[in-house]
A and B are shown apart, each in its own frame.
Chain A
Amino acid sequence: MRRILFLARAEVLHVVRDRATLAQCLVVPVVQLLVLSNAATFQIRNTPTYVVDLDRSTASRGLITRFAASGHFRVTGASPSLDLANDALLRGDVTMVLAIPQDFESSLVRTGVAPVQLSVNAEKGSAAGIVQSYASAIVSSYAAELEAMQAVRSPGEPARRAAIEVRTRSWYNPALNYRDYMVPGILVALVTLIGTLLTAQNIAREKELGTLEQLNVTPITRGQFIAAKLLPFWVLGLIDLAIGLLVGALVFGIPIRGSLLLLFGAAAIYLVVALAIGLWISTMVETQQQAMFVTFFVMNIYLLMSGLFTPIDSMAPWVQVVSQANPVRHFVTISRAILVKGAGLSDIAQPLITLVGFAVVTLTLAVRQYSKRSA
């Protein structure tokens, strides 16, 4: 036991002295945090719209006013030329073209039916769907409005009919604040980078310097060596999470709805997985560069497929199955469930048990792989 503590102390001194490495691990998440909390929104407001009004009547102008006043659309260009509108759409200056044909008002009066054309830039699929539903709602409510006006002018029509009143509620994040969603996920990225990159690099450095050989000839057992190597990083990861949470709560004002004890408990298990992966990487490489390469490659795939940036539910079905084998995914789910939704132990039981399984398997594999090489 004393040996482990000695070795662990040496490790702590190394980490504290190696400012550059520590800075590396902090820079990435902080940049992600700053950019993502501000940038990662798909919110749709003020859709730039081009208006082609060929009718120039009271009715057509009324429709354009409704679009402009809705808050969802911003008229950025208008001309009677469909070609110019198409140009603007191709250049990407506008997202939607509203085209009102020449006999809009007269056909509305004569036949009661009139067409309008909406061309949406559907490059961004889901956004286009929302733009479309906003636009259709405006058009149909304008028709209802016109009808009501007509009914006033010609009394004797039946009174207005009852309607279904739709109210919407956004649970867990009523302000639709993207930051509240991203910060808990980025905390996971932070803990993962610290755990995996530092461990892999650290052991690779011992290899490079030859000090690993020295340690191997000391009476220290492999179990003791690994415990002493991993313990400081495990503690460091937890401290890091605490700092990250503190910054998140104080600077970004993210909610902490669930139990912090539960979050740290889950983090303690997750860190074992992250550290074991780092240890495993270090057994495969010879130099620090290779360690960094492999770590970045692995992290790249792990983070992009964890649901941190894009929702798991949107992924192709087979990717959703594959991502079950991604420990980052499970901890991202847990972190968000606890912090944003206030979930309790029973709600996160499934991902938590999966993490425990991961911890056992990866640690066993890493330790066995390691002993082979140092034997």
Chain B
Amino acid sequence: MSALLGLVRKEVYHILRDRRTLVVIVAMPVLQVILFGYAIRTDVDHVRLAIVDPAPDPVTLALRARFDAARVFQTVAVLPNATDLEPLFQRGAVQGAVLFEPKFAERLGHGVTANLLIVSDASEPNTGSIVQAYAAAVVQAYEQDQISRGRTLRIVPTLRMRFNPTRESSNLFVPGLMAFVLTIVSSLMTAISLTREKETGTLEALLVSPLRPWQIIAGKVLPYIVVGFVSVLGVIAEARLVFDVPLRGSLTLLLVEGLLFILVSLSLGILISARTSSQRVAMMGALIGTMLPTLLLSGFIFPLESMPVALRAISVVVPARWFVLVARSIMLKGTGLAYLWRPTLVLIAMAAVLLVASTRAFHERLEG
């Protein structure tokens, strides 16, 4: 036990002495959350809209006023005909356009269908379809108001936006960012710690010491868990103070799950470093093996539900996938263990398997 404590103390000295790395480890998550919290969003807002109205009349003017009033749209150009539309789209100056046909009000007055065309820049398909849906909703609302004056039947939907009433992207992405940033920091930390031991040759010394492999691992992991925990606290504080992300569930539970996730990422990093021969491959493996899956397959940016079955199956083994789920549920939905026992068990199982595997990987090095 005292040997383990000695190793822990050595590790703590290393961390404290290397101020530059310490600053990177502590400051990077905080910085990245700020940067990406503002950058990674998918809100469709302030859509730049062009209006093509060859012959303005009361109805088209009323509709245009509705588009102006809608918070989502921002009319940047009103054109008499559609010929100038294409360059505006190609330059990206407008994202959507509403085209009225001539004699719009006259046709409606005569009981003839009036045509209205909504064009959107669908090169980015999501924004493209959202713009269309929003524009169609504006027209629909106008029609509804006109019709409902003479309407006899109405079904009034009351709408409740659960868990995120203002529909802020940051509420979705900041809890996810926590997983991403923790993954990077954890793999970075293990990579730094282990490659340094390898570089200086002290790892060999540790391996021939009376310390057991699990003790070496524990000594490596414990101090960094503390550092990781500090970054978790920092990120949660930031989520509350900077991004106003609610914390509806239990803070204790979130912290415990955070610790569990750090443990998983750290042991994954150690496993990769222990399994590979050269430092370069180890770091590459740590970065590619943890960063890419966390970014792409955790549901952090891209929703898992819309992925094909094969990718969803792969995502099951990505630890961040489970932590993103847990963090979002605790923060936004306020759910407790009653709902989260399954992902929690998965994380515990992953931690157990990875810890045993990395201990064994060290053991093999000892003998080989």
Main secondary structure of the interface of A (DSSP, over half): helix
Beta-carbon contact of B288 and A162 below 8 Å: no
In the assembled complex, B95 has its CB within 8 A of some CB on chain A: yes
Identify the closest chain B residue to A45 (Cβ): B306
Interface residues in B316-365 by Cβ distance below 8 A to A read 325, 328-329, 332-333, 335, 339
- A31 and B128 alpha carbons, distance in the complex (Å): 26
Q: Does A68 contact B (CB under 8 A)?
A: no
Q: Is B229 an interface residue (CB 8 A)?
A: no
> Which of B35, B95, B127, B283 meets A305, CB within 8 Å?
B35
Is B69's beta carbon under 8 Å from chain A? no
Q: How far is the CA of A168 from the CA of B133 in the complex (A)?
A: 9
Contact A129 B130 (CB under 8 A): yes
Are A116's CB and B162's CB within 8 A?
no
The verdict on B68 contacting chain A, using a C-beta distance below 8 Å, is no
Cα-based distance from A132 to B364 in the complex (angstroms): 57
Check if A161 sits within 8 Å of B153, measured CB to CB. Answer: no
CB-based contact A161/B111 at 8 Å: yes
B107 touches A170 (CB 8 A): no
- Asked if A319 lies at the interface with its beta carbon under 8 angstroms from chain B, I say yes
**Is B186 part of the contact surface with A, judged by Cβ < 8 Å?**
no
- B11 at interface by CB-CB < 8 Å: no
Residues of A within 8 Å of B164, CB to CB, are: 122-123, 125, 128
A144 to B146 alpha-carbon distance, docked (Å): 13
Contact B125 A39, beta carbon cutoff 8 Å: no
Q: Is the CB of B155 within 8 A of A143?
A: yes
Q: State the interface size on chain B (CB cutoff 8 A).
A: 104
B136 at the interface (CB under 8 A from A): yes
Which chain A residue has the least Cβ–Cβ distance from B38? A316
**Contacts A133-B137, A309-B40, A341-B89; is A140 near B144 (CB within 8 Å)?**
yes
Interface with B: A226-234, A265-273, A288-296, which one? Answer: A288-296
Interface residues in A95-137 (C-beta closer than 8 Å to B): 108, 112-130, 132-137
Query: Which residues of A have CB within 8 Å of B328?
Result: 123
**CB–CB A117/B90 < 8 A:** no
Given contacts A28-B288, A127-B303, contact A132 B159 (CB under 8 A): yes
- Min CB gap A344→B, angstroms: 8
Q: Which of B185-205 contact A (CB under 8 A)?
A: 188, 195
Q: Does B238 contact A (CB under 8 A)?
A: no
User: Nearest B residue to A127 by beta-carbon distance?
Assistant: B303
B90 shortest CB reach to chain A, Å? 4
* Pair A162/B108 contact, Cβ less than 8 Å: yes
Residues on B with beta carbons closer than 8 Å to the beta carbon of A180: 123
Q: How far is the CA of A341 from the CA of B88 in the complex (A)?
A: 12
- For B168, list chain A residues within 8 Å (CB): 125
Structural contact, B159 and A168, CB atoms closer than 8 A:
no
Give the docked Cα–Cα distance between A309 and B125 (Å): 12
**For the complex, is A333 an interface residue (Cβ under 8 Å from B)?**
yes
> In the complex the two chains form, is B279's CB within 8 Å of A165's CB?
no
A42 touches B306 (CB 8 A): yes
Binary interface profile of A, 159-179, with partner B (CB < 8 Å = 1, else 0)?
101111111111111101110
A112 contacts across to B, CB distance below 8 A = 151-154
> Is the pair B153, A130 in contact by a Cβ cutoff of 8 Å?
no
B125 touching A164 by the CB < 8 A rule?
no
- What is the bound-complex CA distance between A139 and B139, given in angstroms? 16
**Complexed CA–CA distance, A41 and B311 (Å):** 13
- Given A108-B155, A167-B118, A176-B128, 12 more A-B residue pairs with CB atoms under 8 Å apart are A39-B297, A89-B162, A113-B155, A114-B154, A125-B168, A130-B130, A164-B139, A166-B117, A170-B128, A171-B122, A173-B128, A309-B40
Interface residue ranges, B against A (CB under 8 Å): 32, 35-36, 38-47, 87, 89-92, 95, 107-108, 110-130, 132-137, 139-140, 142-144, 147, 150-169, 171-172, 184, 188, 195, 279-281, 283-284, 287-288, 291-292, 296-297, 301-303, 306-308, 311, 325, 328-329, 332-333, 335, 339
17 residue pairs A–B, Cβ–Cβ below 8 Å: A39-B311, A116-B155, A125-B164, A133-B133, A133-B134, A137-B140, A159-B111, A163-B113, A164-B115, A165-B115, A166-B118, A170-B119, A171-B120, A173-B125, A173-B128, A310-B39, A319-B38
By a beta-carbon cutoff of 8 Å, the part of chain A in contact with chain B is 20, 24, 27-28, 31-32, 35-36, 38-43, 63, 89-92, 108, 112-130, 132-137, 139-140, 142-144, 146-147, 150, 158-159, 161-174, 176-178, 180-181, 288-289, 292-293, 296, 300-301, 304-305, 309-311, 313-316, 318-319, 323, 333, 336-337, 340-344, 347, 350
